[in-house]
Structure 1
């Protein structure tokens, strides 16, 4: 059994196949030996001359496309080996490892539609593919692994950012997250902050009250950050955030500001177990002062938190 603990979500190849009138081939990493640029379960779609997604640093994609044409013609899935143990000696992997690539011609449309629907609704799911027949189905549970001829791919929603705040720190962090391609929403009582976010392409929402907006859909792939110099906004927002399953909740400020924040939340009746979830001072770089450094530092901390094994 080959297992892969990292969960992934790649909607572009799936959507490309759904949009393709003449059908295409879904290529997936089914096995990894040694180092690899991409994990087990990474996807690429081949539709005619078009390729959507990548499975390496660029060294095997063209060859995969050639095999995909044959696979599409005969209608049979096939497994191709690159790197260690591969019959294709002229194609080398710079990382020195080995990759098993599964090619699935015209993957089941109903399964792909279910994957796309779950992605739009931020619902985790597992795509199961029989490596011999190419049959696909979607299950609620199952970790990424190749077991007894069935490739399971655990698909999780993208990390989503809810950014509360006012001023350059909130704006800079929102722009950074937007440029990295993550779903995000900038919430602020300040019109200038919201305008800055809109110009960067961020979603925005006006904060009109010192309270966590009840309409926000928060799941366990959501990160909540607060960038306020006026800390009076924080207690009610943080208390509301701590009532959600967000995997990361953090607020800007010094150690002194953090201590005052914790005292205020405790006085509001927030339990110690909930307070232990609150990050602060936020960021991997201690005492980062300028908005750019702080933003990179906080984003790195959030992504590192997201990669930690559960429990």
Structure 2
């Protein structure tokens, strides 16, 4: 049974994002999906070969539509589905995840609306998604001022009214400043459901200062998750990991009930396994997060689940195996 044309085009966009395909390709399919949903003449145009006369429909997207309206699984979608392989490890843990503590929208440096991110998370079977756009200091990522963040809270409240029982949790990825302070109004941070604290600058700071910086952040009483703690990048873009006293930082995380993030982005996979094992041995809790900037990237959680399993992390210590109410009761 073939999905309808709009659903097929949206799934293709999702799977392309999961593969980290170029943005222009993803947008072409997502734009075509929107057009397909609004047109009532797709059957006729598919029959007479005039789909490409519609602005925004190209040869490839027309092929997907033509096969969909005939009740045939589009070849392009079948190919992408076949390329998506279940992870050899981590699958059991992935099934236990109820949500994702770290995701971005087009309010900062993400490429999709809050609603698109939420719909994708719900489609993946999640019960909730924490929206964690950047804080104001990260101007290159269009970080949210206190005023913009308050406006976003209103948008999330309205969206939750439409998506219930699925829930978008309010949140932020707050920048950890050089002195360990947090880049947002403390009173506003206290109103949020999830606060991911991450260092994005001065990552080559000498180890003693970086240690004090991270400990100050996780000891603030306002942080839920310590994000991508070493700041490393792997793959095509490489960046060496920050150096700090990991034992001291993870001990502070444990003492202040701050989860250590297992970042699932293929270009991060942060922290390295030896640090994950250290955090495990120290009794830390963890958050397996996608750090998604597009809907398809939400499915990167499988990467983090595989690493957690490899490092022997008990699923009971992963905070996003919990329902939203249980998570917020921490």
TM-score in terms of structure 1 length: 0.36
TM-score in terms of structure 2 length: 0.35
Hey, which of these two has a bigger chunk of strand by percent? 1
Q: Which has the higher contact order (CA 8 A, sep 6+)?
A: 2
